[in-house]
Structure 1
Amino acid sequence: MLKERKLDAVTPLQENHQTNNNDVEIQIEIDESEEISAMTEEERYNKDYFRSLFEIVLLMGKQNVSLEGRNLKDPDGVYSPDNFQALLEYRINSGDEVLRRRFEMLAVNQEYCSRFQQEQILEVCERCVREELMRDVRNSQFFTIIVEDAVDMAGEEHMPIFIRHIDDANNLHEEFVGFLPYDDDAELMAMNFIMAITEKWKLNLEYCRGQSYIASSRLSSKMKIVASRLLQKCPQATYTLCSSCALNIWLAKSIPVTGVSVVLGTLEDIYLFFSKSPNLEVELENTITGLYMENIEKGNELKEILKSEWISRHDTFEIIVTLLHPLVLCLDRVACDNSFRWNTRITSQAFILSSALTDFDFVVTIVILKNALSFTRAFGKNLQGLTSDIFSAANSLTAVLHTLNEVMENIEVYHEFWFEEATNLAALMDIPVKLPGRFSRMQHLNLQPDLTSENFYKEALSVPTIQHIIQGLKDVFSEQHLKALKCLSLVPSVMGQLKFSTSEEHNTDLYKYDLPSPETLSAELHCWRVKWKHRGKDVELPSNIFESLHLPDIKFFPNVYALLKVLCILPVFKVENEKFESSRKRLKFYLESTPVEQRSGHLALVNISYDSKHDLDVMVDTYMKVAANDAKFDSLSPHSEVVEEV
């Protein structure tokens, strides 16, 4: 009876609504069927064919399988298929009729799909995957850009690019979006970078609010030019440090001294040598145990450090100075092993690394870096700490610069102590104190007879290192950057630390055009302070930007909400949820697991973004348009090889 009453109570309006919905569904089905019927049999066949090709390429991209694989011909000239063709043949044998019809009349040793066509398909896959990422970035409006240090991609240098944005649920994302090709001409590289952002990726630079660059000394000066050109186009693109790199490592990477670059490369080799072999790690731990038998606590502390990613810490150079003796002893044992525990590759590499570590040039460089960067260690650690620590760091920069300038004025005295520490460490390990061999060979007869090792390293290492640290801090901590950091006083925990006596208006001028109602900002900030000052005893103060953004009533403070959203995407702040920065780890894994000659920028993006949304039909339609355009172009040219096949 109840069901009958409900059915009788359905109004004519509801009936009409249901009828309209049914009509819409029927119309969609009719449109789709008309679209399919409008396609010729040949067009449908081509679309199915290309769909099969794209399915194979996407599978290979997600699984990080190189399209090429083995060479098409071995040294004896015998034909062997590449990975892509092998999968095509497997799919044909598994019953793919479209591919079978396409290739059944071809010779056994004939290439099914040309390398050019494979590259075209891969480019379209990359373009469509990136477009999905960029659509999310455009929807979030504001974004920041991070450029990492150059990597070798099949013999060419490229710099990975990440973009940060915040989604509708106020979660911060950091996505890998592609590579920037390296160019010796910094102006040309800057122009290509800006064109890629605006024309290729269709992003509006007016909404770029931050930029960060991690580059070695060779690239550092060029990336400064790129940063300045981007600032000219978008004055609000604040140049900041990146949270993924410790300040001291960032400063050391960009020091324009050859010896420093050599040391950083050697440290990377040492880290990889031990971290990739559990047996070698055990050997190093046993060496530490033997050396620190009288100080077991210190030995255990060093073992714990080795389990971390010690090569990227704030105190990396302090760690390597402490570990130098046990490292050399361990490497010598491996290199001189007579029990055949280690293979030839490991023993020869151990010998090379031991020789590098026992060069006085290496010893004096790590000691001077340790001491010179000790003045920025606490400052840099705060920048990667709690929000209150970051705010304190912004207010302590002046004191850090003052200390460094004092060191520079008294560099003779400081260098004397640093050099004495280096010689004592060298004496402990029987390393002779001498000028670097490369310097002696370059000087030949022009070598100054009264030039001592101490004076040489003062002018060649200590002075330029301190000068660069001072200039590097000034470059990255501009007035604009410091203003942004001081806006952290909006975070309730920082307000509480400052006894709710903050005045943020003069710092928020940087983002006044991003506010929904800037004329009410002053009154809104007053209400924001009062809200937290007079909170209940059981209410805790949000400790960072992200907790503040997820407050239930945050949208009642529209200006504060807008300011926090723009602030949190700056590269200097750490991504709170690790799952939203997984692309950085995936890129690292891709580079570690893929041989240099097989790396591909197109394949890398597909592999790293394997869980991104993508529409296979859109990819196929895009490719068919590209192929059609190429066919029109090539029809005007006598050179048309691949188009005929397409």
Structure 2
Amino acid sequence: MPNFCAAPNCTRKSTQSDLAFFRFPRDPERCRLWVENCRRADLKEKTPDQLNKHYRLCAKHFEPAMICKTSPYRTVLRDTAIPTIFDLTSHLSNPHSRHRKRIKILTDEEVRQIKERRLESSIEQMLSKKENTAGEDDAEVDDVPQLTAPQKELREFLRSLFEVIILIGKQNIPSSCQSTEEPFRMSTFQALLENRINAGDEVLRARFEAAAINEEFWPLAQQKQLLEVCERCIRDELLQEVRESRFFSLVTGELVEFPEGHHIPVFLRFVDQSNTLREEFVEFILFEGEEKSMADKLESHIMKEWDLSMENCRGQAHAGSGVFGSKMKAVANHLMEKYTMAMNTPCATFALNIHLANSIPLTGVQVVMSVLKKTDAFFKASPLLQAELDGAISILSQGSVEKGDDLKENCRATWTELHNVFEMAVELLEPLLLCMDSIHDNEDLKWNDQFTSDAYAISEALADFEFIVTLVVMKNALSFTRAFGKNLQGETLDVYFAASSLTAVLHSLHEVLDNIEVYHEFWFEEAVNLATSMEIPVKVPRLFLRKQRTIEMVEIQAESFYKEYLTLPLMEHITQEVKDMFSDNHIRALKCLSLVPAVMGQMKFNTSEEAHADIFRSDLPQPDTLLAELHCWRIKWKHRGKEVNLPCTIHETLQHSDVKFFPNVNAFLRILASLPVLAFRGQEGTGQKRIQAYLSDTPVRHRSKSLAVLNINYHVKLDLDEMVECYIKSYPEDESD
């Protein structure tokens, strides 16, 4: 994206000029002088951080003495540089033009004050210069360190190497080895270097020709150092935006396998300075140790390595299943003990029912979830497999063509991620088994050995009564949370009403627990009928029978067994998990979505944000005026003009121009938006989507943590000169060699 000059009557941009562009300084006093000299009234409303992030001035507005060229590629300003060269009159020749950079018309008093300040500044500079040059010759002293020829050559050489590494990372060029000692494929690295040499990189040519082989030319240890610097620069760029936003939520994904072990992908969700919701991947953290030590490690990493305060964490969501899911829940609880406002919530990336199912620590449930994942991946491997399933559905739905067509349509989507996944799985069970048996039999030799082997493994799992009864119980038990979970991922109004419906959901779950015998009887009968239709015998799991014989227990009937070891613990876990995830603070926060004007309008502006607003009172810029501000906010939208549409989402509300006049509401909405439970619109751009793409495209033996960071964060703009300087500061011995 090009940089545009913020000066009035200046139309230069970085893509059309070789001029350097400079950020506004973060120092408040210097930034004020820059804005004052620009004479742009609209910039006075911006903070130094906002100006530094979004606005630039080109080199034409600075005296030549204020500009230093430290290398052929890097131009910097002196620390005291102030822009003084501006065109403030050319727009007068066309008084009817509507220029986006409006020039402020100064009063006589303002002109007098500016002249006085400039005169004072000039006198101070003259006195300072006299003091600094006392006892010295009149020769000008250049305080910018001059680089020697070898130093310049090293910097140009490092730039070339960084460009190659960035290309490898962003294009996801794989490693050829399984060893963690070699960051990336040597032949590819060398080929890319040779390509640069052929394109005219003389510095690289000189270095390359001096080495016999690539390892000597640039050793593996230094390649790792380059990768570490790339990763660090990307992370620092993202973390700086998080610090500027202040509040964030912590999100972790499923375990990721690398050659050096399993790691947790960590994401940060926040609203940036342009009031845009972001969810960015930051780092892979090694997963090891007990829950308490893992929580301490994560906390220490966030606060010491990332320089963020956990006091500003307002939400956390941890994906995971089985043992890993249980550990991550314990990690979340440990963090909440120290930071009570870091609410543990479900992640909107996954359907609530899938999250609940993944969290159930029952072997049978985890087998069901694993088989569903394998089944989904199996049919994605080839369109011919999907066609085979369509044929099986057609055979079994001859009496209801419309139902069969619906099933086929749903199967072509990612049905294992839907809210009604377990209902669909029950409907598809018989066609799936027929399809898998057909592929495994392979009578026409249509399928390869891998497909037939996978089909056999899946069919064996599907044809087990324990799988069938577990799936049926999950379908029925999670039907009470399906609508609730769907609303949580819906529009803002749906989420608001979902928060109010939690009591009804919990009431339904408790009713099932109170009448577990009756509900289990119906659910077990459904499972038996389904198994009978597929000629699958009803039985107690083989492993349990073996244990029963060992300890000489009284023989137990299948219905009683599944009630005691499946239905009852499953319902108890779901009920408790819903209570834990939707704490009082969490529900109060969701009810504050009534701040969104469309929700206010739906409620006829009879909302009561005041009753729940105390939850984030300490985070607000002006908490003493909160009640009055909420009243004014409600009145503003209630008495809006007929042509004004009510913003329907937090994002639309934050983008409204008037929200800046309501600082508490603005802060409140920014915190709410960062909560992981709220759906992220346009999810294809989130870090979680990008990491899934990387993992699906990269075999385990080719994965590299540092290169993964480059690939996943391809959208982060990197400054090669900063990376070179960072490398030299981190490894000064390379410069001295």
Fold match (TM-score > 0.5): yes
Q: Which has the higher contact order (CA 8 A, sep 6+)?
A: 1
Shift of 1:520: 2.0
CA contact (8 A) 2:430 2:534 kept: yes
Deviations 1:332-366 (A, max 9, x none): 11111222222221122111111111111211111
SS at match of 2:264: strand
Mark the CA change 1:263 to 1:112 in structure 2 (over 3 Å): closer, same or farther.
Answer: farther
Query: For residue 519 of structure 1, what is the aligned residue in structure 2?
Result: 624
User: Does 2:230 align with 1:125?
Assistant: yes
567, 571, 575: which one aligns with 1:462: 567
Distance in 2 between the 1:448 and 1:65 partners? 59
Partner SS, residue 282 of structure 2: strand
User: Structure 1 residues 400 and 516 mapped into 2: Cα distance closer, same or farther (>3 Å)?
Assistant: same
The alpha carbon displacement at 1:459 in A equals: 1.7
Query: Percent identity over the alignment?
Result: 48
Would you say the 8 A contact 1:69–1:83 is kept in 2? no
Specify the SS of the correspondent of 1:548: helix
The answer to whether structure 1 residue 148 and structure 2 residue 253 are counterparts is: yes
User: In the alignment, is the contact (CA less than 8 A) between 2:175 and 2:703 conserved in 1?
Assistant: no
> Where do residues 13-28 of structure 1 align in structure 2 (5 Å cutoff)?
24-28=63-67
1:410 aligns with 2:515: yes
Cα separation, partners in 2 of 1:364 and 1:533, compared to 1, 3 Å: same
Q: SS of the residue aligned with 1:144?
A: strand
In the alignment, what sits opposite 1:254?
A: 359
The corresponding residue for 1:430 is 535
Check if 1:565 corresponds to 2:670.
yes
Give 1:601's match in structure 2, choosing from 701, 705, 708.
Answer: 705
Moved more, 434-443 or 135-144: 434-443
Distance 1:447 1:331, change over 3 A: farther
Letter in 2 for 1:65: I
1:522 Cα deviation from its structure 2 partner? 1.7
What residue identity is the alignment partner of 1:399?
A: A
Q: Which residue of 1 aligns with 2:730?
A: 626
Q: Which residue of 1 aligns with 2:82?
A: none
d(CA) in 2 for partners of 1:271, 1:624: 48
Provide the C-alpha distance between the structure 1 equivalents of 2:153 and 2:459, rounded to a whole number of angstroms: 63
- Aligned equivalents of 1:584, 1:457: Cα separation in 2: 37
Query: In 2 relative to 1, CA 136–30 (structure 1 residues): closer, same or farther, beyond 3 Å?
Result: closer
Native 8 Å contact 2:190 2:214 kept in 1: no
Matches of 1:143 and 1:339 in 2, distance apart?
57
Q: Is the 8 A contact 1:155 1:597 kept in 2?
A: no
Residue in 2 that maps onto 1:583: 687
CA–CA distance in structure 2, aligned partners of residues 523 and 23 of structure 1: 46
Distance verdict in 2 for CA 1:444–1:91, change over 3 Å: farther
Deviation per CA, 1:346-388: give whole Å up to 9, x if none: 1221111111111112111111111111111111111111222
- The alpha-carbon distance between structure 1 residues 31 and 325, as it changes in their structure 2 partners (threshold 3 A), is closer
Counterpart Cα distance in 2 of 1:148 and 1:541: 35
**1:617 aligned onto 2:721:** yes
Given that 1:186 and 1:226 are in contact with CA atoms closer than 8 Å, whether structure 2 keeps it comes out as yes
How does 1:13-52 map onto structure 2 within 5 Å?
24-29=63-68, 38-52=146-160
For 2:64 and 2:231, locate their aligned partners in 1 and report how far apart those are by CA, in whole Å.
33
Letter in 2 for 1:229: H
Structure 2 counterpart of 1:76 = none
Q: SS state of the match for residue 180, structure 1?
A: strand
Which AA in structure 2 matches 1:616?
L
Alignment of 1:157-196 (within 5 A): 157-196=262-301
- Alignment gaps of 5+ in structure 1: 1-13, 74-79, 632-642
Q: How far apart are the structure 2 equivalents of 1:446 and 1:577? A: 56
Secondary structure at 2:152 match in 1: helix
Q: 1:234 aligns with which of 339, 359, 376?
A: 339
CA distance in 2, matches of 1:424, 1:481: 41
TM-score, normalisation: structure 2: 0.78
Q: Which residue of the partner structure matches residue 534 of structure 1? A: 639
Q: Does 1:59 align with 2:167?
A: yes
**Match of residue 556, structure 1, among 651, 661, 664:** 661
1:559 deviation in Å?
1.9
Amino acid at match of 2:690: R
Q: Distance in 2 between matches of 1:555 and 1:149?
A: 38
Contact 1:61–1:603 (Cα < 8 Å) also in 2: yes
The DSSP-based 3-state class of the residue aligned with 2:490 is coil
Look up the SS of the partner of 1:29 in the other structure. Answer: strand
1:515–1:345 CA distance, 2 compared to 1 (3 A):
same
- Sort the Cα spacing of 1:200 and 1:606 in 2 relative to 1 into closer, same or farther, 3 A: same
Q: Is the 8 A contact 1:164 1:569 kept in 2?
A: yes
Residue equivalent to 1:77: none
Which residue is 1:543 aligned to?
648
Structure-1 residue corresponding to 2:20? none
Shift of 1:108: 4.7
1:332 aligns with 2:371: no
Aligned to 1:278: 383
| Structure 1 position 242, deviation (Å) | 1.2
Conserved 8 A contact 1:205-1:233: no
Aligned to 2:47: none
SS at match of 1:509: helix
What secondary structure is seen at the aligned counterpart in 2 of 1:423?
Answer: helix
Equivalent in 396, 401, 406 of residue 506 of structure 2: 401
Q: Check the 8 A contact 2:396/2:431 in 1, yes or no.
A: yes
Question: Shift of the alpha carbon at 1:62?
Answer: 0.5
1-structure distance, mates of 2:581, 2:165: 42
The 3 A distance-change label for structure 1 pair 30 and 529 is: closer
Distance in 1, matches of 2:692 and 2:496, equals: 31
Looking at structure 1, the residues matched to 178 and 469 of structure 2 have their Cα atoms a distance apart, in angstroms, of 46
One-letter amino acid of the counterpart of residue 688, structure 2: R
Farther-moved stretch of structure 1 (610-619 vs 473-482): 610-619
Deviations 1:307-345 (A, max 9, x none): 222111111111101000001111111111222222221
Mark the CA change 1:442 to 1:617 in structure 2 (over 3 Å): closer, same or farther: farther
Q: Shift in Å at residue 502 of structure 1?
A: 1.9
Q: Which amino acid aligns with 2:655?
A: H
Tell me, yes or no, if structure 1 residue 213 matches structure 2 residue 252.
Answer: no
Aligned partner letter, 2:326? S
Of residues 414, 431, 453, the one that matches 1:348 is 453
| Structure 2: gaps (5+ residues) | 1-36, 38-56, 73-141
User: 1:378 & 1:314 partners in 2: Cα distance?
Assistant: 8
* Structure 1 segment 64-79 matched on structure 2, within 5 A: 64-69=172-177
Q: Which residue of 1 aligns with 2:597?
A: 492
Distance 1:23 1:328, change over 3 A: closer
Select 2:524's aligned residue among 412, 419, 423: 419
SS of 1:432's partner is coil
Deviation at 1:395, TM superposition (A): 1.3
SS of the residue 2:285 aligns to: strand
**Alpha-carbon separation, structure 2, partners of 1:23 and 1:461:** 75
Aligned residues: 609
Q: Deviations over 1:92-150 (max 9, x none)?
A: 56554333333434445865433332222111111101111111111222211111121
Please say if 1:299 is aligned against 2:404.
yes
CA 1:495–1:264 in structure 2 vs 1: closer, same or farther (change >3 Å)? same
- In structure 2, how many angstroms separate the alpha carbons of the residues matched to 1:152 and 1:222? 17
Structural mapping, 1:73-152, within 5 Å:
81-92=186-197, 95-108=200-213, 112-152=217-257
Note closer, same or farther for the CA distance 1:303–1:39 as it changes in structure 2 (3 Å cut). same
CA distance in 2, matches of 1:505, 1:70: 58
> Counterparts of 2:241 and 2:210 in 1: how far apart (Å)?
45
The 1:481/1:22 distance shift into structure 2, 3 A limit, reads closer
TM-score normalised by length of structure 1: 0.88
Contact kept? 2:178, 2:259, Cα under 8 Å: no
SS at match of 2:718: coil
Whole-angstrom distance in 1 between the partners of 2:627 and 2:215: 74
Alignment pair present for 1:360 and 2:465: yes
Structure 1's 106 and 516: CA in aligned 2 closer, same or farther, altered over 3 A?
closer
